[in-house]
């Protein structure tokens, strides 16, 4: 989906649909940050994946739901979404998969990476020309990156 199609979708549906992606099985240390980012994203549309910020969700998953049900639900929401915003500081196979699927679907993708000492973002994300990756050091910086992304004339 090119940037022009994002605006068309927003206008025809009344609000932008945002798929937020963050680590679950890879680690939940950033759950509080995910919730802050989700609240920031809500200024721009409906976040389809609010459960990513739920502190009740652990690295063991979401409880009494099968892996197949999670996959089907998440792929359905990703197809419905206009954009994907991913917090990629905690390495996660699922987040990487969602980014790849969003790219394959032609969705606009923003990856937020918190700079860390002795850690490096995967080149499969940072080197991908179809993914906008921004580095930040604090929540206010990440929120500013989100604001710039959604206020971009290209979106």
Q: Which of 104, 152, 94, 146 is nearest to 128 (CA)?
A: 104
Judge contact between 73 and 48, C-beta under 8 A. no
The total domain count for the chain is 1
Domain span at residue 26 reads 3-151
Give this prediction's pTM: 0.88
- Residue 53, SS3 per DSSP: helix
Q: Is 2 exposed, middle or buried (CB count within 10 Å of its CB: 0-12, 13-18, 19+)?
A: exposed
Tokens at 71, concatenated? 């996959």
Residue closest to 1 by CA, chosen among 29, 49, 12: 12
- Examine the pLDDT at 75 and tell me if it is beyond 80: yes
Are 87 and 77 within 8 A, CB to CB? no
User: Distance between CA 34 and CA 81 in Å, rounded?
Assistant: 18
Q: Report which of residues 37 and 51 the model is more confident about.
A: 37
- The CATH number covering residue 54 comes to 3.40.50.450
Confidence band of 32 (pLDDT split at 50, 70, 90): very high
**What does the pLDDT read at residue 11?**
39
Q: Which of 15-24, 60-69, 110-119, 146-155 is predicted least confidently?
A: 60-69
């Amino acid at each position: 989906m090119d940037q022009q199609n994002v605006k068309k979708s927003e206008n025809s549906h009344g609000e932008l649909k945002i798929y937020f992606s963050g680590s679950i099985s890879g680690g939940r240390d950033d759950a509080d940050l995910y919730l802050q980012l989700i609240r920031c994203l809500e200024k721009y549309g409906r976040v389809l994946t609010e459960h990513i910020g739920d502190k009740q969700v652990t690295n063991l998953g979401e409880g009494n739901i099968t892996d197949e049900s999670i996959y089907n639900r998440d792929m359905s929401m990703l197809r419905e979404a206009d954009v994907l915003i991913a917090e990629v500081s905690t390495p996660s196979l699922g987040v990487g998969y969602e980014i790849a699927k969003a790219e394959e679907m032609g969705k606009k993708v923003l990856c937020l990476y918190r700079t860390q000492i002795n850690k490096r973002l995967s080149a499969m994300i940072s080197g991908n020309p179809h993914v906008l990756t921004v580095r930040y050091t604090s929540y206010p910086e990440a929120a500013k990156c989100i604001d710039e992304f959604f206020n971009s004339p290209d979106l």
